[in-house]
Copies of this chain bind each other. A is one copy, B any other.
């Protein structure tokens, strides 16, 4: 469903990678590998349409993503490494806002439920500011429960700062998504046991 051809990414003076090609099909789990600073985050942002490549193109179901921005963004979920929270809002308020923005409105009850499921029931009334690192990440990840119908997930280091239980929980969520025909592109420096066979793409192979 998502394909990239001949992608190149330049940051300042440095060409991070070039001639990078990839394709993701439904049910696939693609892991982007590479050492720190090799351009994983930069690649994911290109794929999500947040920045535009120095060369090459990204297409979604055969058409360039910039030609069908709205339908592509309606079908894709991107979570960067910043959890996109406002410090003054409660987890539920943040989650509900994120869903409204993504045009998949969720009721407060659904949001609280998703947060409870991800282990934040005691933190529901707190402002996100006082949450621990892992709890903040969880608030961002709770969106995954509410957006299962989006075919493509692009996740930047989703396992960071999570404890072991949360990691295996998240792994199960990713597996379930793939099993139901979704596709996941993610990065991670941790080795996580996933049931879905994971395809690896090493950005370093495309470095100059």
Copies of this protein in the complex: 2
Do A36 and B135 touch across chains, with their CB atoms under 8 A apart?
Answer: yes
Do A81 and B133 touch across chains, with their CB atoms under 8 A apart?
Answer: yes
Contact pick for A36, options B11, B40, B163, CB 8 Å: B163
Q: Mark A132-152, 1 if CB is under 8 A from B, else 0.
A: 111100100000000000000
What chain B residues lie within 8 Å of A163 (beta carbons)? Answer: 34-36, 189
A76 in contact (CB, < 8 A): no
Do A138 and B12 touch across chains, with their CB atoms under 8 A apart?
Answer: no
Bound-state CA distance A131–B132 (Å) is 24
Q: Mark A9-33, 1 if CB is under 8 A from B, else 0.
A: 0011010000000000000000000
Instruction: Tell me which of A46-54, A60-68, A164-172, A174-182 binds B.
Output: A164-172
Do B165 and A157 touch across chains, with their CB atoms under 8 A apart?
Answer: no
In the complex formed, the residue of B with least CB distance to A16 is B132
Q: Which 5 A-B pairs have the closest CB atoms?
A: A36-B134, A37-B132, A35-B163, A37-B135, A36-B163
Binding site for B on A (CB under 8 A): 11-12, 14, 34-37, 40-41, 81, 119, 122-123, 126, 130-135, 138, 157, 160-167, 189-190
